[in-house]
Each structure stands twice: as C-alpha cells, then as structure tokens.
Structure 1
Amino acid sequence: MKIAVISPLFSRSAQLMKELTSFFPDVKHNADNTLKTKADIIAFLHDIDIAIVGREEIDDEILSACPKLKMLSRYGVGLDNLDLEAMKQRGVELGWTGGTNSNSVAEITLSLMLSLIRNLHIATTLLKQHIWKVNGGSELTGKTIGLFGFGHIAKRVVELLAPFHCTILVCNRTHNEEEALKYGITYASKERILEEADIISIHLPLTPESKNLFSTSEFKAMKKSAFIINTARGGIIDEEALKTALKTGEIAGAGLEAFLEEPTHDWELIDLPNLVCTPHLGGNSKESILAMGYSCIEHLKTFCAKK
C-alpha cells in the first residue's frame, strides 16, 4: 500500500509521523505545504492507495484522476471538504471519527464568550495603545446562550458552561428529549434564540441550508447587546452583513474562528474593534492534534487489515 499525508499539520508532527511510519514505513508527506493547487494534489496522489487529508478539498475531479486511491482518512472532524457521493461512487472508503477535537474547540468557544462579554479584547487593545479605559462588560453567569447545532462540540460547550448557570437554548434539526434532560437544554426555534440569546454560538456544518444562515435580517432580530460566535465553518455567517452589523451597533460584537476564505484577507472585517478573531486554531491544541492523528492512523490500520 502506498500512503501519503496531504495535511501539513499532520506532516509536521514528529510524534504523529513517527507513529505512522512505525506501521507504514514508506509514506509521502507534505510538511513543506507545497500542494497549492488541484493539479498539485493530483500529482501528489496519482499513484497513492491511501491518503490522510486535512482541510484540503477532494472533489470528483481529483478522485477521477487518482484511480488507485481506495481510502481517505480525515485528519479533523468536518467533512464538507470531501465529495462523499463521488467517493462512494468510486469505491473510496472514508476513515473518520467525529468529536476528536471537541474539547479543544469547546474551550476556544468558551474563551471567546468570556472575552466578548467581559470586554477583555477591547480593553486589552486600548491598554496596549496606552489608553486606560475601565469597562468590565457583563458577567457570563446567568446569561442566555443560543446554540445552533448540537453535536460533540456543542455538547462539550454545555458541559463547560455548567458553573455559569446559563439558560441554554438549542436550535437543532432533530430533538432528543433524553439528551435535553441530560444536558439541561431547551430546544427552541431560530426566531426565539435570535430574540432572547445574549450569546449565539454556531456549531453547524457548512451546507447549502446553513450557508449565510446569519445575515442582515438575523442581526436585526438579535439584541443590540448580543454577541455571535462562529467556531464551525466560514460561510455560515454572511461576512459583509456582519461587518455592517458590527459597524452600526446592530449587535455588540462577534467572535470568529472560521472565515469564508482562509487565510482571510478581509482586513476591514479583521480590524473592527468589536470583533475577536483567531486563524481557525480552535481544534489546534497539542492534545487535539495528537487525538485526531492517532484516529487517522487507526483507520488506516483497520482498512489495511481487511485487505
């Protein structure tokens, strides 16, 4: 079996590469992050049987140009970058385990909530400009939190919020009353959450239904004192509408982990003082990097054991 690692993050981890090569000695990797185009990826994979893929988009064009490819092991949790239907039609198996980075992303979500509601980001920025302005914001304790999506990450967010005694409203496609009792949540409509939530946190995949789910009308429906956080995927928030909402005070602030284009170059958005932003590092803790990587390796071992 010829194996390749497309993901630069996996490729640069000495610990993961050591573990992988202990089972599969001959492995191509992408530590230098040289795969910039679809043609680069095709050239890299054309004679490969199994690949570990990160956020790189793998579509039918790539799959058709790499007929030897029989399995993709996803390094990460989202699957929106993979053409799952094309994989199925071409007999390419998927190795994937959900929730491997849920704690890492949930911690970033909680940190964004605290940074926004306690005014930490703005106060820090002003102080670094030698401006002493005391504004401690509001306490997170007792606030109403609206969650869109209720998968592994959202559930972990609820667990981390437990000491803050928040009211948790959840908008989700399916309702599981046993889970509602277990986590102390209330299922609610999109409209109710927009009206009542002090903080909205997005935990959805990017799909045609979720694209631009939050745009001008949604921001107008939110409290002016409310915040919105996206640690999921870029494109779920309409970034142009968000810029307007932040500039005009339609909402109080936002926390973004994910952007429509990554790396983003929308400096007009990034420079807004009431935006807290990170370069999509939520699932990038040391612990998460290893957990996702070991999961990938296990999927490879399982696949090869069947052959």
Structure 2
Amino acid sequence: MNKVRQLLEESLTGGLYQMTLSGAAGEATGCSKKKIRPVLLKDRLLFQITAYRGTQVFHENHTAEEAAAILEADLLGSFKQLQIETTSFEATVLVSKKGKMTVRKKQRSVSEDNVKVSLSHNRKKRYILEEGRPVPFLVDLGVQTKEGKVITSRYDKFRQINRFLEFIEDIWPLLPKDRPVHIIDFGCGKSYLTFAMYYYLHELKGLTLEVTGLDLKKDVIVHCNELAKKYHYEGLSFLHGDIADYTGTDSVDMVVTLHACDTATDYALYKAMKWHAGVILSVPCCQHEVNKQI
C-alpha cells in the first residue's frame, strides 16, 4: 500500500490530468466509476471527484490529502482499477481478487512544459482517442485527416467511437491478463468500433487478443480484413456469415453485438451465455420480428 500512497501523492498535483477508478467490486456503493481531476477554486488547488451512480453524476471537491485517503479506501473495497494520467507519466493500479495491488508506471515522452492542464470547471472534453493525433484506422475509415483533424461531417462518429471506448475502459479490469482474450463482434458492419476496441485493448493496454468480426456483407468483410492486414493487427480477423449458424468456437471472453438486426441479437445473447462469456456488450437493434406482431 506504501507504493500506492506514494503514487497518489506524486499524482495529486497541478500536473494531474485525470484519474479514473473503474471495475466496481460490488453493488454496495452503487457507484460504477469515479473520475478525479484538479480544479482551481479561489486560487486554491483542489481535486474534483466525480462519482457516477446509475444515470446520476455527483461532484465533490477535496484537498490532495483528502482525495488520497478516499482513493485508498476505494481501492481497498470498492474498485479494482485506478488509471492515472499526468503531464509526466501514466500509471495503473490493479487490485486482484485477494486484494493484492500491482502498480504499473510509464513515463511520458512529452515533457511537462509542453503539456497544459486546464484547471477550470468547464474544460473541453478529453477523448480517449484524442483530436489532433492521427489513428490509422480512423484515417482510412474517413473519420480523421492524415494530420489527425476530425472531419466535420464525421464528428458524431468520432464521439460515438470514444464513448464506446469509455465502456471498454470500464470492463477492461474484467478481462484476463495472463492469456489471449477471445472477443467476438456479431454484426460488426464497417467495424469502426471493432477496430477501436482492438486498438485500445492491444495498442494502448498491451493485451494479446483474438478478435473475430462477423457480418453478412461480403464486401465489407473483405475491406475490413484488408485494413487489419495493413495495420498488422494479427489478432483481428473478419468472417462472412450468419450469427445463428456460427460455430467457430466453444469459449469466448467477451461478446459484442451492437448492430445485429432483428432476431440476430437474440442468437448472439444465447451464444454468449452458452459460452459463459464474462462480458456482454449488447444493444438490441431493429426488432422486425416483434414489429410484425405489434
């Protein structure tokens, strides 16, 4: 715990960009996530803790010492992961099922002098995939220019991708770290979110992945496989086929079904439960079967 306390003291300064507590250990607190950032109130440096409870959001401001104590208590009982971003380093604290804490820290290549932290209450939202930083698949899918600028007409897609990655950020602690993670994306379509998920979990988080995207559109599958090969995403592949007939595996860690139309969502959920998937991200889509009955 001394290492964690030392890390918190080092992080809770004006150089902090943001902390995120995720991986809620239980429902006792009713809080799914917390975010912490520095704010300047009447020339006094405080730390705003934002707690997410259901559809409600609560804000509290604390001194560095108070914030450190709250974070320590949360890691001891309520959350399994703490991510820290500062102007000089990035760090992650992981809590095992037995309560053991592991600290991983990586220095930033950009010096503190070149990074500005906003201490205002209403600052511009920071996305996981940042504006101005080109990401290859976003460029090829027409969301960004080669310089990393978000194309105006595709800004909604850019926001959608980043919002999806916030969900991936939340479930990351639940995925295995000691072996390849098997993920299936049913009804992947053009695969904006599939590529984003792979990029985040593999490129940014360092997980070994086996991701399969499945869709009925042959031309889309061919294009997605070409892009995966271009980026050397060896753990990412796309197949043409129907969800109901898919028998390519007996075990999956995570099932994603966001655009599976009509009863395809039902088949995807059935298979996810049959495979005992630890994580299911699903949005029912285009329920024509029910529509006919209505």
TM-score by length of 2: 0.31
- Structure number with the bigger relative contact order (C-alpha 8 A, sep ≥ 6) is 1
TM-score by length of 1: 0.30
Higher strand residue share:
2
Higher helix residue share:
1
